[in-house]
Amino acid sequence: MVAAVPKPITLEQFLALPDIDASPAWEFICGDVSQKPMPGGKHSRLQSRLGGAINGAGADYEALPELRCTFGGQSMVPDVVVVATADIPVDENGDISSTGIEFAPPWMIEILSPEQNQMKVTRKILHCLRHGGQMGWLIDPYERVVLVFYPDSLPDELTGEAVLPCLPEVGLALTVDQLFGWLRVGES
């Protein structure tokens, strides 16, 4: 558990705190230190299935859940990030690094939980887009809507049979209804 946090705190001080990657992870966003909410069933199911679908698309990109992303003066742990396999940092053994990434992921996906502040999650996506990200999804499993964010444009609100856009290199074909169909127990 992160001990009492001094106010104000710098990004460097935050990254030096013990247990910031304990479950659920801690984040440093807009100078504020907060712990992500514990995910529930809907969140976990969507995160798992979506990561598997993106990774199964066979592209040179990988969906990574709960990966720490530190860039632009903030440190966040998005629900899913999609990065080019060639950009995944490795350690001296050639294994994936345990420290996360230090750049804006090309595609960030957030899944809203009931106790989560939608504005805070939206700010994370916008921060990513302002620092080089190409796309962000905000999935609301309770409203059954996906907001798709791009740099320099208004978000798209997608429902029903709308096909969810993804990075062109990924090639995932998925509708909003298919995405939320994963919430039904027994559905594959």
pLDDT tens-digit profile of 98-119? Answer: 889 999 999 999 999 888 889 9
pTM, full prediction: 0.92
Residue 124 pLDDT: 95
- For domain 38-181, give the fold: tt1808, chain A (3.90.1570)
Are the C-beta atoms of residues 28 and 69 closer than 8 Å to each other? no
Residue 155 pLDDT: 97
Cα 17 to Cα 9, 14, 33, 149, distances in angstroms: 11, 5, 11, 32
**Per-residue burial over 74-94, b = 16 or more CB atoms within 10 Å of its CB, e = otherwise:** bbbbbbbbbbeeeeeeeeeee
- The first and second tokens of residue 183, run together, are 């919430």
If pLDDT is split at 50, 70 and 90, which confidence band does 39 have?
Answer: confident
Q: In this model, does residue 187 exceed pLDDT 70?
A: no
What is the spatial distance between Cα 25 and Cα 149, in angstroms, rounded to a whole number? 24
Q: In this model, does residue 144 exceed pLDDT 80?
A: yes
C-alpha dihedral over 12, 16, 19, 21, to 10 degrees?
Answer: 40
**Strand-by-strand arrangement of the 74-76 sheet:** 32-35, 26-29, 74-76, 69-71
